[in-house]
């Protein structure tokens, strides 16, 4: 009997999980949602217990820095970078403490677009990921907002997570966001929008759907960014799922229970896939 694409997700060994700022913070205050982070850490620890390798691409540094520095929203690029500098340390402190409860060791990797564009830096990044995963750690990745300028930014962690997935030859990418998945139209504006459970081909029509929809105003990645992430991931040979982060246990539902949660984009590796071709088109 042929197994479905959802059933095959159970076999994935190297998983990248991305969680956005709006999913990691309380809507009312913008402070870190420690309850949700703790649940996410527990799910990742359980995935590790099954013998899977997990990389977490986590937003939240700027929010953590803003919380530490009095809660006032940054108005300038330099203020955001200062918030990120303070917040990265605090965010990793939270992850360090929570992962230690489950006898897991997190590691921090901060990247810029130049990390991927430069041949030596890219090779070093691959070697670092491979070694950290071999050692059994949980690499936690974010864009290095303290030094990134507009010219060298990925722009959002949706695309960054897809780039990481392609870079390390992951076989599953899960994007946790504030939406259930892909719809035929923006469900917040159109009650007749149809939910799409599975996408086997990223047509021009599908890619065009994302241009008119955006996500939460807390994060930076709307549906267009998620669809571009799907393009990078699936063309590199990695399945991708967009799912709602309201309950982070959805990661377990997808990767272990093979439940039909979120939208699955099935992998179809492009011949002679070159990650740099995709990087250069990010502005």
Of 88-102, 103-117, 148-162, 212-226, least confident by mean pLDDT is 212-226
Query: Which residues are registered as beta bridge partners of 198?
Result: 264
Task: State the pLDDT confidence band at 27, using cuts at 50, 70 and 90.
Answer: confident
Counted domains in the chain = 1
Calculate the average pLDDT of the chain: 88
Distance CA 209, CA 131 (A): 39
pLDDT of 111 over the 80 cut? yes
The dihedral of CA 55, 59, 64, 67: what is its sign? negative
Distance CA 204, CA 98 (A): 42
pLDDT, tens digit (0-9, with 9 covering 90-100), for 74-102: 778 888 888 888 989 999 999 999 999 99
Range of the domain at 247: 5-279
Cβ neighbour number for residue 96 with a 10 Å cutoff: 15
pLDDT attached to residue 144: 81
pTM: 0.91
The CATH number that applies at residue 250 is 3.40.1160.10
Nearest-angstrom CA–CA distance, 216 and 118: 32
């Amino acid at each position: 009997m042929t197994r479905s694409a959802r059933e095959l997700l159970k076999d994935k060994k190297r998983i990248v999980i991305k969680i956005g700022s709006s999913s990691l913070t309380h809507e009312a205050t913008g402070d870190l949602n420690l309850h949700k982070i703790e649940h996410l850490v527990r799910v990742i620890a359980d995935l590790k217990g099954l013998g899977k390798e997990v990389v977490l691409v986590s937003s939240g540094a700027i929010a953590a820095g803003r919380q530490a520095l009095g809660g006032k929203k940054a108005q300038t690029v330099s203020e955001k970078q200062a918030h990120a500098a303070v917040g990265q340390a605090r965010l990793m402190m939270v992850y360090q403490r929570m992962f230690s409860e489950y006898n897991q060791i997190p590691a921090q990797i901060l990247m810029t677009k130049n990390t991927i564009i430069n041949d030596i830096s890219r090779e070093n990044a691959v070697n670092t990921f491979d070694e950290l995963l071999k050692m059994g750690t949980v690499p936690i990745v974010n864009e290095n907002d303290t030094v990134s300028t507009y010219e060298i930014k990925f722009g959002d962690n949706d695309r960054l997570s897809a780039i990481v997935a392609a870079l390390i030859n992951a076989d599953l990418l899960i994007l946790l966001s504030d939406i259930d998945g892909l719809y035929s139209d923006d469900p917040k504006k159109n009650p007749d929008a149809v939910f799409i459970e599975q996408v086997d081909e990223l047509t021009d029509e599908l890619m065009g759907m994302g241009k008119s929809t955006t996500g939460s105003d807390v994060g930076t990645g709307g549906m267009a960014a998620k669809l571009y992430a799907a393009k990078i991931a699936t063309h590199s040979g990695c399945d991708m799922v967009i799912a709602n982060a309201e309950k982070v246990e959805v990661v377990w539902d997808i990767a272990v229970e093979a439940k039909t949660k979120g939208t699955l984009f099935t992998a179809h590796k492009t011949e002679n896939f070159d990650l740099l071709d995709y990087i250069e088109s990010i502005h």
